[in-house]
Amino acid sequence: MSDRRGRVVVVGSLNVDLVTSVARHPGPGETILGSDLTRSHGGKGANQALAAARAGAQVAFVGRLGDDSDGAQYRTALRAAGIDDQHLRTTAGVPTGTALIVVDGAGENTIVVAPGANARLSAEDVRAAADVLADADVVLVQLEVGDEAVSAAFALAAEHGVRVVLNPSPVRTVPRAWLEAADPTVVNEHEQRAYDLAEACVTLGGRGATWHGTTVAPPATEVVDTTGAGDAFAGALAAALARGDDDATALRAAVAAGAEATTWVGAQPD
C-alpha cells in the first residue's frame, strides 16, 4: 500500500455531453421540442476523476480520447484541473465518446451514450499504467469501458494491494468476483436490485446514501439538474477513502458532493 497521500487512479470513460431540456420526457414514438442544445464535458470516468480532484485527491486518468477537436479540448481541461494524463491515449480515426442527455422539468434525465474511443480502451492500455496503479491509494472504475480493461484494473490492484471502488454502471452482466472484490461497490437502488447486492454503498437520490447500515441525508439544495450527481458522489468517496477517512466520514463527504452537483447544469461545473 502507499503512504496515504490521497492518490486516486481512475480507469474509465470520457464523453462530450449534448444536453437539452424538456418540460417532460417524450413517450415512445413522440417528438417534442427541447431547449437550445448545450455541449459540455462528461463521461462517468472523467466526471468522477474531476470530483476526486475537487475533493483534494491527486488523480491520474487511464482512458482513451478520439483524435478530434473534442478530444484535444478535453485533454486541455483535465490538465487544467491538475489531472495526470500521461496514460490518457488518443485513438486515431475514432471520435471521442458522446452522450445524448435529455433533462425534464424536475431535473431528472435520460442518457444514451455512443462510446467512441472509450470502447477501444484495452487491457494493454491499463497494464501500461501499472506504475501509477501500483502507487495509488484507490483505483476507481466504472463500466463505460470494456470488460478487458476493467478486469486488468482489478488484477493490478489485487497484485499491489490497492483498494478498488467500483461503480458498476451502466448495468450489464459482470463477473461476480468484481462486485465482491470492490470496497465498496457504489450503486443506486436500481443497480443494487439488478446486481442483487446485499452489501454495497447505495445512493438514494434525494434521500442521500447508505453504507454499512448508516444513512446520510443530503443538505438542502435547489435541484437544477441531477446529471452527474452519482459520479460526484463516487469521486468524492474515492478521494476521502484515499486520504484515509473512515467509511462514515467518507460517506458524509460523498453525499455533500453529490448534492452540490445537482445545483449546476451538466455533469461538470463550469
Burial class (CB in 10 A: 0-12, 13-18, 19+), 31: exposed
Contacts of residue 196, defined as CB under 8 A and 6 or more positions apart, other chains included, come to none
Query: Is 63 within 8 Å of 48 (Cβ atoms)?
Result: no
Of 68, 84, 125, 231, which is the active-site residue?
231
- Give the dihedral sign, CA 185/186/191/197: positive
**Residues 119/146, Cβ–Cβ less than 8 Å:** yes
- Gap between the Cα atoms of 139 and 8, Å rounded: 6
Which helix (H) or strand (E) element contains residue 132? helix 130-134
Q: What are the two backbone dihedrals, phi and then psi, of residue 189, each rounded to the nearest 5 degrees?
A: -65, -40
| DSSP one-letter code for 261 | G
Residue in the structure block whose three cell numbers are 486520504 = 243
Structural Rg of the chain based on CA atoms: 17
Ordered DSSP codes for 204-255: -GGG-EEETTEEEPPPP---S--TTHHHHHHHHHHHHHHTT--HHHHHHHHH
Q: What are the distances in angstroms from CA 270 to CA 113, 130, 174, 224, 261? A: 22, 32, 34, 14, 11
Q: Active site includes 231?
A: yes
**Residues labelled catalytic:** 231
